[in-house]
Amino acid sequence: MHRLVPSPIFVLTAPRSGSTLLRSVLDSHSRVHAPHELHLNLLSVREREWVANGFSDRYASISLDALGLSIRELEHLLWDRLLHHELLRSGKDLIVNKTTSSVQSWRRIAECWPDARYVFLFRNPLHIADSLARAWPDRPDIDPARRAAEFVAVMNEARAELPGHEVRYEELTTRPAETVRRLCDFLGVAWEPAMLDYGRFDHGEYVRGIGDWSEIIRSGVIQPGRPVPSGTAMAEALEPACRSWGYLPDPVGTQ
């Protein structure tokens, strides 16, 4: 089906992995618009029945059938139109969606946009869990290690099926110019050094729920990450996840 935005770029990542930093850097490019988190997977279309004089009919369903559309396809049109609206509003020609929940809906995204492009943003799972614990100290319902492991698992599924470009948060914060230059090559845009000074540009408000709200992000400059947490039960619980992403060497004798 025709798409107004045929090849959007999706950042697939876990929460607390530096996606707002990456979004801010990319949004500083003259051709790239990276808006706040759009939560496309939470936007849905609902069909209502027409009821009058005790009788009901599903006129919307009849109309959609005649058009050859399903509710699912109608939602895809809504998602595509939202991206197109944002792109037109920005005056740029490439759009990046960095919503962290996108990775949990990667199959649906790939169905909606067969020609979408993907950037896989990785961070040490120990850092992800530690950051989750610090961001939600009053949420006993959130197990940081388990949540991080769940995102690692779904990221591994998506990476096995989808082509894309890999970025590591650690490289973004320690070798930003080299890392962002390679990303620009993947996106097919010229490298612009001003991207690294993202605080010079207007990226909208940093609001909880649609992006990071930390002072580090608000500083407007790329800062080194924290040391890796160690010696905790969390480290033991996340050992397989860390190993699968290359943050721990494989045990001797394994392939």
pLDDT at 141: 76
DSSP for 98-165 reads: --GGGGGGHHHHHHH-TT-EEEEEE--HHHHHHHHHHH-TT-TT--HHHHHHHHHHHHHHHHHHS--E
Q: What is the pLDDT of residues 90-108, one digit of tens each?
A: 999 999 999 989 999 999 9
Q: What is the pLDDT of residues 205-244, one digit of tens each?
A: 777 666 776 777 777 888 887 777 666 677 788 999 999 9
Radius of gyration over alpha carbons of the chain, in Å? 20
Q: Is 60 exposed, middle or buried (0-12, 13-18, 19+ CB in 10 A)?
A: middle
Q: What is the pLDDT of residues 15-43, one digit of tens each?
A: 989 999 999 999 999 999 999 989 999 88
Question: Locate tokens 């197990």: which residue?
Answer: 143
CB 87, CB 95: distance < 8 Å: yes
Average pLDDT over residues 120-126: 96
Confidence class for position 255, pLDDT limits 50, 70, 90: very low
Please report, to the nearest 10 degrees, the dihedral formed by the alpha carbons of residues 132, 133, 137, 140 taken in order: 100
pTM over 0.85: yes
Question: In one letter, which amino acid is 254?
Answer: T
Distance of CA 191 to the CA centre of its chain: 22
Q: What is the pLDDT of residues 38-79, one digit of tens each?
A: 999 988 888 877 666 666 667 778 787 788 888 899 999 999
Q: What percent of the chain has pLDDT over 70?
A: 89
Average pLDDT over residues 165-189: 97
